[in-house]
Structure 1
Amino acid sequence: MEYIRSEFSLVDATGKIRGDWWGHYSYELPEGKCDAIVELVDNTYKKSYQVRLIDFIDLGIESDNASRQTPNKRAIALGIDKVANSVKVIDARGKSLPLPTEAIICDVCPTSWQELDRWITQATILQKPLVLTYTPPVESNGIDAWKILVGIAKYLSRTGSAIALKQLQAKLNIDDFTVLQFGLDALSACGWEITLHEQILQMQLIDPGYVREETAIGSATQANAAVQKFITTVNELIFRQQYFDRQLLRLVQSNSSHRTSLTFDTTGA
């Protein structure tokens, strides 16, 4: 499975640093100045530091072209800011609370301004409270997720049992199947045979000796490249979940304190 990745150099007055933008083509990058959200990454394979692009605001878009452009992140944030006080947001994450009979249930943490905008817009148009019921983002990382996935794969192979896809996603705290697929691809590259039938997964260990070598994080092998891709993608997913979870919680706090305005941080987490 191929995954889109664009390489770039991020430049400011102090110098430049190389970076990657996963899931996007190079033509989507701005050519001029921009505000950017990046994550510093220690690339052990290349033995250097890089940045991973999370989001950006193109500062070169002229105002007279704004109507012809896809709404950028700042515009979305400002739009949410304007309706913040007309939308009631209820924090029911991980709680057993009586929910309003008529409410918009947000059961998946948004990972982009566009997703956040859709939830807020829906609640605004329907004039219903927005209830957050998703699991709060965990303090974890891609390496932890990989170790858990390998442990589950070993158990399933040893016992000959299977696991429901949803159950595996819950154990890894990964709602996005695309991200999980990278993990399954990495397991395949490391010597497991993965079978998915009617949302049920089976994992069979083919060569135990090969697996022990290839699942060692940090080895410069083709299999490890697949492992690193999974780890990198999970780290980005967790970063986005934590960032946009904080934006929704600021709305909750705004509701409770009856503030008259809300400013979203669109340039950093």
Structure 2
Amino acid sequence: MIAKLEMFIALARERHFGRAALSLGVTQPTLSTGIRQLEDQLGVKLVSRGSRFGGLTPEGQRALVMARQIVGDARRLREEMRASREGLAGHLRLAVIPTALTWGSALAARFTARHPKVSFTVLSRASADILSMLDDLEIDAGISYLDNEPLGRVVTRPLYRESYRLVCRPDHPLAGRADLGWAELAEQKLCLLTPEMQNRRIINRQFLEAGLAPAAAIESNSTVVLVATVLQGPWVTILPSDLAAFLTEGKPLALVPLRQEAVAPEVGLIAPHQPPYTPVLQALLDEAGELAQVPD
């Protein structure tokens, strides 16, 4: 039953039989048979299908909520039993917003140094994708913004508050400033993250509060592309302070602090709110608390 529920969850996530089968490492006929057997066991049709996936039926939508709960509980049970036999061991999947990747790396490195039987996969994802991946049981935890947009039912551990730096070449007219107000960035050649990134929406709001409507001639979902663009000429970009320092180290670039006019956004670890947590996930939450720069 658990294996068939996992097939159902994968199909609901991918909305395509072939992609769902590929994500599980099974053949498409095996997946289709598993879904049909699940429907037979439950006595309802879960999936609308003709020649291709046609969405979930109303019964399928309701079943999906319970399937996620059942599969999540089964995984927690396995982890709990493994911890009783082996101590903290296993694999953690962590998705991190691009602007917090240095924190994701630090958390994973600290945790594996303390618990060497635990391995990590760290993925770069947008904040909305992280919430979807948590719902679909694709990841165990994420690092994202905590107080800017709704998160749903999750447990959180604050890590830090975001401050910002203007990144420019040393010969740029603004490079020598001690700090800058957002209104002073009018008419600058901006390269910024793409609009689906929450960091971009935060930056847009900062500009709007300063009476500006930012127009970025170059956009990317990669902060590496932004820094590389600034190296090419009169471009400027805006990045969180820690990430800006990391990406510009050893490069001919200048960092200028931007004055924070309002409460800075908080970034932290998020995980499904389904206590009791497995020993490994509880240890990760505790590790995030120790790493945090945000006062309790």
* TM-score, reference length from structure 1: 0.32
Larger Rg computed on CA atoms: 2
- Higher normalized contact order (CA 8 Å, seq sep 6+, divided by chain length): 2
